[in-house]
Every structure is written in structure tokens, then in C-alpha cells.
Amino acid sequence: MTYDPISEQLLLDWFVVLDPPEGFRAELIEGELVLTPLPDGSHAHCLSLIASQMYTRSRTAMDFSGNKGLKLKGATTCPQDHVIPDGTLAPTELRLYRGADPWMPCEGVALVVEATWTKPEIDRETKPRCYARGGIPLYLLIDREAASVTLFSAPEGDTYREQRTRPLGKPLPLPVPFGFDLDTADFL
């Protein structure tokens, strides 16, 4: 479906005031409304382990948010994407998470994290396109069904040119500004 500027604005205006049902979060991804239930405890456990390592092991001081939505450039036939990553990391000095708006631009974000949940194909296929289009340098995917972790890097257009996948339990090297091996043993 192709959106004209008026339809695109109407969709965005409707989306930003949408009040999703209790226990769900809403995202606008490549022109489609995506409702997902809030994650389970294993999902939260993975994110907690990642945040802990980022705080204690990164070469650059990082802030972590699991609630801030990102406004990303939409596909050519879609309105602007509004995606809520499971985790967003940005250098502390940038203070990106301040302000009342639940949606922030992606400039300055160093890494986004997704852990597969109810719709893993979105995390594996659609969100990498969205994050690459947004110019986010690193995308970390914890694929719980495949028991693997993948780091996407070098965004170009709507793809990441590089991917490194490791089985859960094996360390995954993270480049600067992180500069450490992510320990995934406890993700199992």
C-alpha cells in the first residue's frame, strides 16, 4: 500500500494517541499496527543480564531504556516507523532519554536489543530493516527459539552488511563503544 502525505499524517496522528489494551504495547512497523503482549520473565531476565553487563563492562558509560520508543525512517511506501525496542543503549553523556515524549529520534543510539517473543519473524526480519534505515549502528538479537545471539552491524539502506551469530552460552564480541565480549551463558 502506498501512502499519500495526508493519509500518512492521519495514520501517524491516530497512532500516537492510540491507547493499547492493558497488557499490550503498540508499534507502527512498515505501515502496520503491531500489538504484542508484554514479555515474560525469561525475556526480562535476558534484558537484565545485558543491561548489567553494559553498565559494568562497556568502555563508554551507557544508559539503558526498555521503554522508550524510536521514531525511524519508514520504508518508501510507508509512514515513519514507531518501534519500541526491548532495550536501547546510548552514551550517558548524550542524555537521550530525557523529556516527556515517549518517542525519540534514533540519532545517538549506539545499540538496540530485541529478544524474540510472540512474533519472532518481526525481530528477525522486519526490525533489522527498520533499525538499519534509522542508521542505528548495532542491533543485538537474542533469538530464544534458535538459542542464538546475533549482532547486526554496518547499516546501509535497509540492511545490515555484517552479522555475527553465536549459540547461546558462547561469548559474542561487541565493538567499541562497548569493547567487551558479551557473556551469554546465563541466557539459556
CATH architecture of 5-187: Alpha-Beta Complex (3.90)
Least confident of 23-32, 50-59, 61-70: 23-32
At 109-127, the pLDDT tens digits run: 999 999 998 889 999 999 9
Q: What is the pTM of this model?
A: 0.86
CA 127/CA 78 separation, integer angstroms: 14
At 144-161, the pLDDT tens digits run: 999 999 999 999 999 999
> Which has the higher per-residue pLDDT, 166 or 9?
166
Q: What is the DSSP letter of 183?
A: P
CA 108/CA 106 separation, integer angstroms: 6
Domain locations in the chain?
5-187
* Phi, psi for 38 (deg, rounded to 5): -60, 145
CA 131/CA 23 separation, integer angstroms: 25
At 23-32, the pLDDT tens digits run: 888 887 877 8
Q: For CA atoms 96, 173, 66, 62, give the dihedral sign.
A: negative
